[in-house]
Amino acid sequence: MIQKIASVLEPKFSGLLEPLKNLFAGKNAPIEFYNRSIDLCNAERLDEALALNDKALAKNPELLDAHYNRGVILIKMGNWEPAAASLETYLKKQPEDPQAQFNLAIAYIELQKNDKALALLEKLIKLQPEDPEVHFALALLYEKKESAESTEKALQAYQACLEFNPNHVGANLGAGKLFDARGSFDQAIEAYQRVLETHPNNLEANYEISISLAKVSDWEQTIIYCQKCIAIDAYYAKAYNQLGLAYYCSGKPEEAVPQYLKAIEINPDYATAYNNLGYAYEKLGELAKALEIFEQYLSKDVDAQEYQEVQEHMVTLKAKL
C-alpha cells in the first residue's frame, strides 16, 4: 500500500502549539517571536514560521516549547532529520509527553528508524489505547516489515483504529488492501465502501474496489468504479487498463482494446497494458497485431517468468499465422 507517511499522518498540535502568555517575565525571552511563529505555522506559512521560531531559540535556547514547535514545523515541511533532533531535545525534558512521542515516531518512520519508532508507538499505545492515530501509525509500521506475522499485526492495528474511528480513510484503505491480499474480497470491498460513503471521489478507494470486485468476477460493478476513476482523473492509466480487463473478461474484447490503448498513450512504459492489449487483439483474431504488441511488451521491464511465458505464447501464435 504504502503511501508516504507524511500524506496520511499529521503531527499533533493540541495543547502545545499555543502562544505563551507572560512567561519568563523579566528574562528578555523572545516570546513574541514564538507566538508569531505559531500563527504563521497555523497559516501554513512554514518558512516564515521556522525563521521566527529559530530566532526565538537563538535568543533563548531554554524556551522548551519552541523546540517542540520547531519539530512540528519541520515535520510539516518534510525535513525529518532536524525534526527528530528538535523533538528529541524537547523529550529530554518532557519524556512522557504523548504528542511529542507520536510526532517523533512519525519522523523515525520516515527516516527508516523503524525499531525506534516501534518502541515509541508500542509505549504510547499503552498510554493511549483508544487513540486511533496511534493504532494507524503502528499498522503502517508493521506493514513495512513485510512478513506474515507483521502483516497480521498490521491488519489487527488497522481494525483497532477502525473500532475507534470507523470512517478513518487511511485505515479502511490499508485494511482493504490486506483483506484483498489474503483473499477476503468481501471484507476488502466493505472497507473501500466505507471510504466511499464519506469520500465518494477518493481515487484510491474507487480503484482498489474495482480490483477486489474483479477478483469476484463482478464485471459490471468493476466497470462502474473504473469509470468513476476516469471521471475523477482522466489521466489515470491504471483505471483504463482495469476497465479494459473488465470488458475483456465480460466478453467484449472490442471494447477492451481502446481502453488499453489509452492506458499506453498515458504511460508508454505500462507493460501490463501491452500484455493485456496483445491478448485482446488475439481474441479478436488479429494475430499479427497481437504479435506486434507482445514484441513491444517484451521490450519493457517485465518479470523473467512472464517474459518467458509470453515468448512461448508468441511461438504458438506464429505457428497459427
Sign of CA dihedral 308, 311, 316, 317: positive
CB atoms within 10 A of CB 26: 5
Mean pLDDT (whole number) for 214-236: 98
Q: Hunting for cell 501554513 — which residue is that?
A: 44
Annotate 118-171 with DSSP letters as a single string: HHHHHHHHHH-TT-HHHHHHHHHHHHHH-SHHHHHHHHHHHHHHHHH-TT-HHH
Q: Is 7 exposed, middle or buried (0-12, 13-18, 19+ CB in 10 A)?
A: exposed
> Would the pTM of this model clear 0.75, i.e. be above it?
yes
pLDDT band of residue 4 (cuts 50, 70, 90) is very low
In which band, very low, low, confident or very high, does the pLDDT at 27 lie, cut at 50, 70 and 90? very low
Residue 180 pLDDT more than 60?
Answer: yes
First to last CA, the chain: 42
What does DSSP assign to residue 251?
A: T
pLDDT digits (tens, 9 = 90+) for 248-294: 999 999 999 999 999 999 999 999 999 999 999 999 999 999 999 99
Rg (CA), the chain: 26
Whether pLDDT at 98 is above 80: yes
- The whole-angstrom distance between residue 173's C-alpha and the CA centroid of its chain comes to 9
What is the SS3 assignment for 136? helix
- pLDDT value of residue 30: 67
Which grid coordinates belong to 242?
Answer: 482495469
DSSP string, 195-223: HHHH-TT-HHHHHHHHHHHHHTT-HHHHH
Question: Is the pLDDT confidence value at 320 over 50?
Answer: yes
What confidence tens digit (pLDDT) does each residue in 6-26 have?
445 666 654 445 544 444 433
What burial class does residue 155 get, using C-beta atoms within 10 Å of its C-beta: 0-12 exposed, 13-18 middle, 19+ buried? buried
Phi, psi of 299, rounded to the nearest 5 degrees: -80, -10
pLDDT digits over 194-224, tens only?
999 999 999 999 999 999 999 999 999 999 9
- Phi and psi (nearest 5°) for 300? -90, 175
Q: In what helix (H) or strand (E) does residue 81 lie, and over which residues does it extend?
A: helix 80-93
DSSP state of 147: S
